[in-house]
Structure 1
Amino acid sequence: MTDTLPYAEVIGDPIAHSKSPLIHNFWLRALNIEAEYRKTHVTSEGLAAYFLQRRADPDWLGCNVTIPHKIAVMDYTDDPGGVRSRIGAMNTIASETGGPLIGTNTDAGGFLQPLLRDQWRGQSAVLVGAGGAARAVLFALGSLGVPDISIMVRDIAKGQALLDRAGVKGRVIGIDDAVPAADLLVNSTSLGMVGQPRFEPDLSPLPDDATVYDIVYAPLETGLLKAARGRGLRTLDGLEMLIGQAALAFDIFFDAQAPRDLDEELRARLLAAA
């Protein structure tokens, strides 16, 4: 027996910007669940020690994973769902008492939620980035059957490897190249995040009915989204995917469905905390 609450957390480097604790703790209070959700700074060099320590903690329910660990954490988890081969990145790790750490990916489902809600039916997409989040987004786009996908990256070889791994047909272009005409543009990188370089490409090639989706949420109004709104394009901000993936992880950690009927109040709190 312990006198502390069971808890889950989010790990990353950096981690101070994370809004995940606000989201999960809001839901925990709403459902009167006696547990908590934290954020913990973990460097790449400290991952092994982190998991060794947490596995010995009976109150630890698991963790979400953010930049830059979504690929590296796969070395420390079991993978009954085949996430390694299907997506190639994990963002949610559950602790089975006395058993293995189970890794999965809720980013893909969280990314898809607003597109499915809006009944998006585009035929082409541009994905910016080739990191852990990009792997989940590419998997999600593939599940929608998007036939025309372009990847914009600094490292062309890395972008091609991402396409090859996912088994998706597409093309790879440089991040400074012109944005292709597409129905959807997704920024899956940290570009535009507080403390990171801006990402404000020329959006004029996009059609007037295109959607621009930026998964960055600190700040919420990125330069990319501001430019898209200036063109009158449909936009989806980082809170869409953040809340969506968090709801899937919440069920895994706390064995309860997130009260999504409170999304409007939650979003207001997130904006107030920005």
Structure 2
Amino acid sequence: MTPYAEVIGEPIAHSKSPLIHRFWLEKLEIAGDYRAAEVKGSDLADFFARRIGDPAWRGCNVTVPHKLAVLDHVPDPGDVRSLIGAANTVFRGEGGALIATNTDAAGFLSPIADLDLSGRAVAVVGAGGAARAVLFALARSGVGKVTILNRTPLKGAALLAQFGLKGDALPLGAKLPAAALLVNTSVLGMIGQPPLELDLAPLPEDAVVYDIVYAPLETALLRAARARDLDTVDGLEMLVGQAAVAFELFFGAVPPREHDEELRARLLA
């Protein structure tokens, strides 16, 4: 019986998670597998009902559009619903019970751990499941004013209140503030989605532009940031960071991060 985990979403063909987890399994010589499964929202309850009865199944990562809905189908002993409001990982706890958690927050912070955001302004695009994890992390980083740009500003305002952040909620076309960090948590710019069109002129010279989209890896937002010689963080950074936390939950082993450059080359091949 070969243990396995997987990633679920709709669509899912673009996911690089299987490449990441299989790379680590190979390096650690662990007999296991990691797969991708397209699951419709209406099929989530049936999916987990079937998987919980499979002793080889170690859990799954959860991507768009199920990060909020998954909490309606999986136990939440860590109160992820109240703390973040979205889950991206389901794993087996003691006795085989399923547990929902969120590794996105840790994955988001991993590549900017050396960036001092204390009291500095931040701009976030989007107000979905990924935005919740990012805002949760930012709230614990002592940031200053946070501006959320979203199609529905009211949704952004609700998230600012939920995470105890001071700032503004504006429509997508609004002018950016002079933020030290700009994060795109939306699907805009992803393959098959509309582009994210922002004027980066208001950002200071030391600003960091962070796009969690990784298909394509070189988004229009990141190209525009590099044209201004701004520091950038691409979607693979967060993807690998959150995957590392999930891998340990699934397979009980610390992923070999010393091979990150080799992993990145394989992901870009």
Q: With structure 2 as the length reference, what TM-score do the two structures score?
A: 0.97
Q: Does 1:78 align with 2:109?
A: no
Q: Distance in 1 between matches of 2:215 and 2:49?
A: 31
- Please identify runs of 4+ aligned residues in structure 1 that moved more than 3 A: 96-99, 118-122
Shifted more, 155-164 versus 178-187: the winner is 155-164
Q: CA deviation at 1:161?
A: 1.4
Structure 1 contact 58–97 (Cα < 8 Å) conserved: no
- 2:100 counterpart SS class: strand
Deviation at 1:97, TM superposition (A): 6.8
Structure 2 unaligned blocks of 5 or more: none
SS of match in other structure, 2:193: coil
Asked if residue 119 in structure 1 is aligned to residue 115 in structure 2, the reply is: yes
- What does residue 50 of structure 1 align with? 47
Secondary structure of the equivalent of 2:26?
Answer: helix
Superposed, which structure 2 residues align to 1:93-108 within 5 Å?
93-96=90-93, 98-108=95-105
**Deviations, residues 161-204 of structure 1 (Å, cap 9, x unaligned):** 11122222221001111111110000001100000000021100
CA distance in 1, matches of 2:103, 2:67: 11
**8 A Cα contact 1:214 1:224, kept in partner:** yes
Give CA deviations for 1:200-249 in whole Å, capped at 9, x if unaligned: 21100101110000000000000000000001101000001000000000
Tell me whether 1:6 sits opposite 2:28 in the alignment: no
Structure 1 partner of 2:171: 174
* Alignment CA distance shift 1:62-1:250 (3 Å): same
Q: Paired residue for 2:149?
A: 152
Alpha-carbon distance in structure 1 between the residues aligned to 2:74 and 2:66: 13
CA distance in 1, matches of 2:108, 2:238: 5
Aligned residues of 1:77 and 1:103 also touching (Cα < 8 A) = yes
1:215 maps to 212
* Equivalent in 197, 201, 225 of residue 200 of structure 1: 197
Distance between the aligned counterparts of 1:196 and 1:148, measured in 2?
A: 29
Question: Residue 246 of structure 1 aligns with which residue?
Answer: 243
User: CA-to-partner distance for each residue in 1:80-125, whole Å, 9 max, x for gaps?
Assistant: 2221111111001002475431011000000001110x33336110
**2:126 pairs with one of 124, 129, 151:** 129
Pick one of 242, 257, 260 that aligns with 1:263: 260
1:200–1:227: 8 Å Cα contact kept in structure 2?
no
Measured in 1, the distance between the counterparts of 2:145 and 2:124 equals 11
Partner Cα separation in structure 2 for residue 55 and residue 184 of structure 1? 40
Q: Name whichever of 97-106 and 204-213 sits farther off.
A: 97-106
Secondary structure of the 2:29 match is coil
> SS of 1:103's equivalent?
strand
8 Å CA contact 1:74–1:90 kept in 2: the answer is yes
Q: Which residue of the partner structure matches residue 64 of structure 1?
A: 61
Partner in structure 1 of residue 221 of structure 2: 224
| 1:92 partner amino acid | T
SS in 1 for 2:154: helix
Percent of residue pairs bearing the same amino acid type: 60
Match of 2:38 among 22, 37, 41: 41
Q: Aligned-residue CA RMSD in angstroms?
A: 1.1
CA contact (8 A) 2:145 2:165 kept: no
